[in-house]
Structure 1
Amino acid sequence: MSAQTAGPETLGDLSEEPSQPDPGSKKAEVIAGKSPMRIALGRLAKDKIAVVCAATVLFFLLVAVFAGQICAIFGVSTATVLPSQYLDSLGGGLPLPQYGPPNGGFTMDHPFGIAPLSATDNLAFWVYGARTSLEISATATLFGATVGIVLGLVGGYLGGLADKVISFFTDLFLTIPFLLAALVIAPIINQRFNDSSNYPRIQFWALIVVLAGFGWMPMARLIRGETLSLREREFVQAAKVIGMPTRRILVRELLPNLAAPIVVATSLMLPAFVAAEAGLAYLGIGVTSGISWGQTINHATPFFETYSLYLWEPMIGIVALVLALNLLGDAIRDALDPKTRR
């Protein structure tokens, strides 16, 4: 033989497993798996718009929570003072120049100016208006989301008659105009409880009931649709086979898999309730016996030409809060969607 026959080819270099990196090394940290929530939070942290909106929402939350302390720092309050000492009776009830705009500059005693006709401090009313708006909208969102989640889960999982009844009431409430229902309910409450000593709190909770009672339907329809697809999955069928109770299946198996749509729907429900609360207060059928941004806008409308700042202050607060909540809700939806590449 002119050439030596080569030996059998070995595949050792192909069959051998690659060496695993040290668990404590930086390379292992890079390839370590991440939970869906961690991935979503990482996406949100990289989204500049989401970060700005989250900071804006946090600012309004701090203002609402520490409204009393903020007013104490600036030395202002919501108490009604003697208007004749602060207002120009010959100038249409506008503040005197030494007490701020529109006829004078800003002062530290009243950083946002004072209200015409009543001489109340605008900063105090703005701060407590933020508290009222967030308190009502957050409570209504909690109740509305809870009702929608429960009805959507029950209807989507049980099906049959239960689903038909829940779907019927969902469609029925969707056909009732929200503003018309508020216009009908508010006079009844005013007439029934107007003489009560707890009328402000009654009006507060009545508004929450109206907002939640006519705001749970989108959540219910969303959860029902997701539940209809999830109830046919293998893990739900396996839970049925081993005899797991229905309540446990709903709470332990289905509900955790609905976290993403619930978070998204809730984040979009909150700004809608903020705008609705301000709109109802402006129309005089919301919070009329307390402090509200909508009430301030209603009082400031006649002074738009002579004292526009009085109107712009609550308007800017509503627009900034609603816009931040809406954009943050969109960012949360994109961050929780595994198909989104950002």
Structure 2
Amino acid sequence: MTVPQMEVTSEVSTAPGAPEQGQKEIAGKSPLRIAFERLRRDWVAMISLLVVLFFVVIAIFAPLIARLLGVSLDTPLASERINLINQLPLEGPPFGGFDPEHPFGVAPRSGQDNLAVWLYGARTSMVIATTAAVLSTVTGVVVGLLAGYLGGVVDRVLMFVTDVFLTIPFLLAALALSPILSDRFGTNPELLGEVKFYSVIGILTVFGWMTMARLIRGEVLSIREREFVQAARVIGVPTSVILRKEILPNLVAPIVVAFSLALPAYVAAEAGLSYLGIGVTDRPSWGQTVAGAVQWFESYPQYLWQPVIGIVLLVIALNLLGDSIRDALDPKTRR
């Protein structure tokens, strides 16, 4: 009698939870990586980023770009470029065609190259807006962290100061403070331009940190009650370490979004202050060009459109990029 042989099958045992053959292994992704992938798929964000990078390159390399294009801020003899009767350019717009030596034309009355002024004006706007945005963001984050985490008397005092600053009209305060700062610190005529430049940054910073502070305070009030913060308190971690290593990393998303949305506001504010005559005076500015070009709009409209288009493009690109960053960092969005 023969014993039937059992059929032996070779099976590969897999550990529990391991992916089966033919299935792709699922890799975890960090929230930051997910946000970058969303941004990369968002064509509006990519176009806006390219526009912003274009202006950043101009701001950094304005002197080099001006030299490559053969333009400069040197003030020429007005009679060489300007009709002394109507004060308008002899060549190029508004009555002539494209002038390769001065692609954007020249300014009426002074004959200064418009392209050089536009390039250096973009640099001024970007430097002022970025510096003011960074300073106001740092101030707002510090105030919001302290008010939200410490609470009690500290919270009430800091929020009272914040509310007081929010009640002050920005434009009226800027109109009042700028002459005072110029008279106080600009006694030396050679330093008056620098004083006005830093005065604009200071005014934008002093009246721009409150929104960030209230935003961060609200986020901290929620985060400080979570388990990892309570555990750090129990084991005796210093308050400064808790704020720096436990709470602040969880505020990166709202800080980035608020910063990206604050930049266009500062660009527009700087142009507005320069237009009103309380902005920078020792260097080209888009606001200064707009203020000087208004009276020439009927006879020389291109002179006004050049800085206006630059301001509009930069502000729209920054706003759209900020909205895209906010959507990319929002875990509830499906974009």
TM-score normalised per structure 1: 0.91
Within a 5 Å distance, the mapping from 1:292-307 to structure 2 comes to 292-307=285-300
Answer yes or no: is 1:48 the counterpart of 2:48.
no
The letter of the residue matching 2:218 is G
Answer yes or no: is 1:103 the counterpart of 2:127.
no
Checking the alignment, whether the CA contact within 8 Å between 1:267 and 1:328 is kept in structure 2 is: yes
- Give the match for residue 24 of structure 2: 27
Separation of aligned partners in 1, 2:279 and 2:132: 13
- Give the match for residue 308 of structure 1: 301
Within a 5 Å distance, the mapping from 1:62-81 to structure 2 comes to 62-81=57-76
**Secondary structure in structure 1 of the residue aligned to 2:24:** helix
- Give the match for residue 252 of structure 1: 245
Separation of aligned partners in 2, 1:226 and 1:291: 40
Separation of aligned partners in 2, 1:74 and 1:131: 16
Separation of aligned partners in 2, 1:204 and 1:194: 15
Within a 5 Å distance, the mapping from 1:130-279 to structure 2 comes to 130-192=122-184, 193-279=186-272
Separation of aligned partners in 2, 1:271 and 1:262: 15
Separation of aligned partners in 2, 1:61 and 1:183: 29
Separation of aligned partners in 2, 1:307 and 1:32: 60
Question: Which one of the candidate residues 74, 82, 103 is aligned to 2:77?
Answer: 82
Separation of aligned partners in 1, 2:317 and 2:74: 31
Larger CA deviation: 197-206 vs 218-227:
197-206
* 1:197 Cα deviation after fit: 2.1
The total of aligned residue pairs comes to 321
Checking the alignment, whether the CA contact within 8 Å between 1:148 and 1:223 is kept in structure 2 is: yes
Separation of aligned partners in 2, 1:288 and 1:218: 29
Checking the alignment, whether the CA contact within 8 Å between 2:182 and 2:195 is kept in structure 1 is: no
Could you list the runs of 4 or more consecutive aligned residues of structure 1 that deviate by over 6 angstroms after TM superposition?
A: none
Distance 1:84 1:157, change over 3 A: same
The letter of the residue matching 1:94 is L
The letter of the residue matching 2:71 is V
Deviation per CA, 1:7-61: give whole Å up to 9, x if none.
Answer: xxxxxxxx98465368xx9922xx2111100000000011110000000000000
Deviation per CA, 1:181-223: give whole Å up to 9, x if none.
Answer: 0000111123231534222222111111100100000000000
- Give the match for residue 3 of structure 1: none
Checking the alignment, whether the CA contact within 8 Å between 1:74 and 1:108 is kept in structure 2 is: no
Checking the alignment, whether the CA contact within 8 Å between 2:194 and 2:282 is kept in structure 1 is: no
- Give the match for residue 318 of structure 2: 325
The letter of the residue matching 1:259 is V
**Secondary structure in structure 2 of the residue aligned to 1:211:** helix
RMSD: 1.5
Checking the alignment, whether the CA contact within 8 Å between 1:141 and 1:270 is kept in structure 2 is: yes
Deviation per CA, 1:265-297: give whole Å up to 9, x if none.
Answer: 000111100000000000001112321000000
The letter of the residue matching 1:240 is R
Question: Which one of the candidate residues 48, 53, 66 is aligned to 1:58?
Answer: 53
Separation of aligned partners in 1, 2:102 and 2:261: 35
Separation of aligned partners in 2, 1:250 and 1:18: 38
Checking the alignment, whether the CA contact within 8 Å between 1:41 and 1:335 is kept in structure 2 is: yes
